[in-house]
């Protein structure tokens, strides 16, 4: 499977060279084994709990409709969310882009005169590279999610939306803990094994002191309910709840597409998300907060509502459906490309099929990575079938491929397509081309062509069928005794 995957993606019309990162990931046999095991395990769990819901398709439709309602009237619901949050004592900030969002967060953290923060797992803070901005300002940002901690200590990058360290096995995690924990806090026990409970214990002891002394916590949000001003984080470990309740100050960075109109809509999402993400009926921890509450939780709450390209996506009536995404990662777990290459091969914060459509819309297709993302898919449609909010990812991928081709201008492939259109638009030209092809077929003796000039890597990776020795027109003339006609 490796060779075709390496070659095919580089040869669609207008597509740039297949990213070198993908080739490296494919060559890592251990990582491919880790990915396959993990994605298939989650996929099986998801299938079991989804089958328990008699009206699963109706639930998917309800989820899609709730998100579409919010996106169609996004300005109104965001203003309602701001009013609800403010009424409950929160301070709302608006950020046009990553730079502005990072500046807002840095100003708040500096005002508290601290040199460290604890963080809840958050894709949006990775999107804006908040950790890097904090580090540049001399502030340590401690990831508290177990998988994010593994990635941080391993000086690595996340490879999965839900399970950032999915590409690591437990032996690799043990080595990371033994090597790195002592450098940034409490060291791992010298007799640490790769038994999962022991690894979790080592992480818990390492993080506990950070939870207890932290003055500032930073989070994202899975959902933001407009009519109540409630922010929601769902998780499996409880670290998020520690970050959301222990620090005196809480800063939540929230993409503007996370808003839901009503509490009833949240009920729908809390049925869809756990089943689609971790294969559970309900998340072990669902934490909700609505501003500031006397004596309970943080006494200062800041909410940064982030655009960072989302308004641009919203303006595209077809592309806006990508903003429905609830970050469940179901599309990653069923994708035949992702399970072989992993998230690192995509070269973007949001990996997998959803990242292949979301990143080029948020960032444009000017970079080589963003040009290649729409082609990082087999277009098999499994991602649409798995998506709990019915995002038609294959449709968006095809649309984005068209945009990449248009932006590329005249290429050898586009010239070939124009030549084909010229031949096929006239019966006489088509007949002449068929006669030439059948002559070539007789000359090759019907054997496959190993290499075809002009087709480059495409023909190097696969055999090209030999042209037939006789066309249909020629067969008709021979059998019926008439001219080839028109």
Same domain, 84 and 218: yes
Question: Is 164 a member of any domain?
Answer: yes
**pTM for the model:** 0.83
Same domain, 444 and 298: no
Give the separation between CA 481 and CA 389, rounded to whole angstroms.
Answer: 60
The count of structural domains within the chain is 2
Question: Is 200 a member of any domain?
Answer: yes
Report the candidate in 276, 326, 215 with the shortest Cα–Cα distance to residue 46: 276
Give the separation between CA 388 and CA 59, rounded to whole angstroms.
Answer: 8
434 φ/ψ sector (left φ>0, alpha ψ -120 to 50, else beta)? alpha
C-alpha neighbours within 13 Å on the C-beta side of residue 197: 0
Question: Is 145 a member of any domain?
Answer: yes
C-alpha neighbours within 13 Å on the C-beta side of residue 179: 11
Give the separation between CA 274 and CA 135, rounded to whole angstroms.
Answer: 33
Report the candidate in 306, 304, 312, 305 with the shortest Cα–Cα distance to residue 363: 312
Same domain, 300 and 441: no
Contact 90, 301 (CB under 8 A): yes
Cα 433 to its chain centre, rounded Å, is 45
Same domain, 227 and 84: yes
Per-residue b or e along 35-65, where b marks 16 or more CB atoms closer than 10 Å to that residue's CB: beebbeebbebbeebbeeeeebeebbebbbe
Reading the chain (486 residues) residue by residue, the pLDDT tens digits are 333 333 333 334 444 555 566 666 667 787 788 888 888 999 999 999 999 999 999 999 999 999 999 999 999 999 999 999 999 999 999 999 999 999 999 999 999 999 999 999 999 999 999 999 999 999 999 999 999 999 999 999 888 888 888 889 999 999 999 999 999 988 999 999 999 999 999 999 999 999 999 999 999 999 999 999 999 999 999 999 999 999 999 999 999 999 999 999 999 999 999 999 999 999 999 999 999 987 788 999 999 999 999 999 999 989 999 999 999 999 999 999 998 888 888 888 899 999 999 999 999 988 888 999 999 888 999 999 999 999 999 999 999 998 888 887 766 667 777 888 998 999 889 888 888 888 877 777 777 776 666 666 666 667 778 788 888 888 888 888 765 544
Question: Is 409 a member of any domain?
Answer: no
Give the separation between CA 77 and CA 69, rounded to whole angstroms.
Answer: 10
DSSP string, 35-103: HHHHHHHHHHHHHHHHTT-TTHHHHHHHHHHHHHHHHHTHHHHHHHHHHHHHHTT-EEEEESSHHHHHH
Question: Is 443 a member of any domain?
Answer: yes
- Last residue of a domain, which of 290, 310, 330? 310
Cα 311 to its chain centre, rounded Å, is 19
Question: Is 165 a member of any domain?
Answer: yes
Question: Is 121 a member of any domain?
Answer: yes
Same domain, 93 and 239: yes
- Last residue of a domain, which of 310, 325, 348? 310
Our CA angle for 132, 135, 137, nearest 5°, is 115
**223-225, strands of its sheet edge to edge:** 259-260, 223-225, 230-235, 285-289
Our CA angle for 294, 297, 301, nearest 5°, is 85
Q: Which two tokens stand for residue 378?
A: 């087999």
Judging by beta carbons within 10 Å of its beta carbon (0-12, 13-18, 19+), is residue 384 exposed, middle or buried?
middle
Identify the three-state secondary structure at position 163. coil
> 206: domain CATH number?
3.40.50.10420
Q: What is the span of the domain harbouring residue 456?
A: 424-479
Report the candidate in 264, 275, 220, 221 with the shortest Cα–Cα distance to residue 389: 275
Question: Is 360 a member of any domain?
Answer: no
Give the separation between CA 62 and CA 70, rounded to whole angstroms.
Answer: 12
Contact 375, 15 (CB under 8 A): yes
Q: How many Å from the N-terminal Cα to the C-terminal Cα in the chain?
A: 44
Q: How many residues does the chain have?
A: 486
Report the candidate in 258, 34, 248, 234 with the shortest Cα–Cα distance to residue 150: 34
Q: In the prediction, which pLDDT does 457 show?
A: 63
- Last residue of a domain, which of 251, 285, 310? 310
Which residues make Cβ contacts (< 8 Å) with residue 432, sequence separation at least 6? none
Give the separation between CA 171 and CA 169, rounded to whole angstroms.
Answer: 6
Report the candidate in 252, 419, 260 with the shortest Cα–Cα distance to residue 324: 260
Same domain, 81 and 205: yes
Contact 322, 137 (CB under 8 A): no
């Amino acid at each position: 499977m490796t060779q075709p995957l390496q070659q095919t993606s580089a040869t669609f019309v207008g597509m740039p060279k297949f990213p070198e990162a993908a080739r490296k990931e494919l060559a890592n046999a251990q990582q491919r084994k880790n990915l396959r095991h993990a994605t298939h395990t989650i996929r099986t769990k998801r299938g079991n709990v989804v089958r328990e819901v008699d009206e699963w398709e109706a639930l998917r439709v309800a989820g899609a409709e709730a998100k579409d309602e919010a996106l169609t009237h996004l300005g109104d619901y965001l203003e309602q969310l701001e009013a609800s949050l403010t009424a409950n004592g929160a301070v709302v900030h608006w950020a046009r882009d990553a730079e502005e969002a990072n500046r807002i967060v840095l100003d708040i953290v500096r005002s508290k005169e601290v040199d460290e923060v604890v963080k809840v797992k958050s894709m949006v803070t990775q999107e804006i590279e908040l950790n890097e901005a904090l580090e540049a300002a001399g502030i340590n940002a401690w990831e508290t999610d177990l998988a994010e901690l593994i990635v941080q200590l391993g000086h690595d990058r996340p490879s999965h939306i839900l399970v950032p360290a999915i590409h690591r096995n437990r032996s690799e995690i043990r080595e990371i803990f033994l090597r790195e924990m002592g450098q940034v806090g409490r060291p791992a026990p010298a007799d640490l094994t790769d038994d999962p409970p022991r690894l979790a214990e080592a992480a818990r002891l390492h993080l506990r002191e950070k939870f207890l002394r932290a003055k500032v916590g930073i989070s994202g949000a899975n959902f933001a309910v407009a009519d109540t001003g409630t922010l929601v984080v769902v998780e499996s470990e409880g670290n998020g709840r520690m970050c959301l309740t222990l620090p005196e100050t809480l800063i939540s960075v929230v993409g503007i597409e996370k808003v839901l109109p009503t509490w009833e809509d949240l009920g729908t999402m809390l049925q869809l998300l756990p089943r689609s993400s971790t294969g559970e009926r309900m998340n072990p921890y669902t934490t909700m907060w609505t501003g500031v509450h006397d004596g309970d939780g943080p006494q200062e709450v800041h909410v940064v509502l982030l655009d960072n390209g989302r308004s641009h996506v919203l303006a595209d009536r077809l592309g806006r459906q990508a903003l429905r995404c609830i970050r469940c990662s179901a599309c990653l777990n069923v994708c035949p490309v992702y399970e072989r290459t992993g998230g690192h091969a995509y070269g973007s914060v949001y990996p997998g099929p959803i990242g292949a459509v979301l990143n080029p819309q948020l960032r444009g297709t000017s970079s080589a990575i963003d040009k290649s993302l729409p082609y990082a898919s087999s277009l098999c449609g499994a991602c649409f079938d798995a998506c709990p909010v019915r995002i038609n990812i294959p449709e968006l991928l095809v649309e984005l491929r068209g945009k990449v081709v248009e932006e590329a201008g005249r290429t050898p492939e586009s010239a070939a397509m124009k030549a084909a259109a010229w031949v096929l638009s006239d019966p006489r030209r088509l007949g002449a081309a068929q006669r030439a092809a059948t002559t070539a077929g007789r000359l090759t003796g019907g054997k496959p062509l190993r290499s075809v000039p002009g087709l480059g890597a495409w023909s190097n990776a696969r055999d090209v069928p030999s042209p037939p020795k006789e066309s249909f027109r020629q067969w008709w003339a021979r059998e019926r005794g008439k001219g080839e006609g028109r």
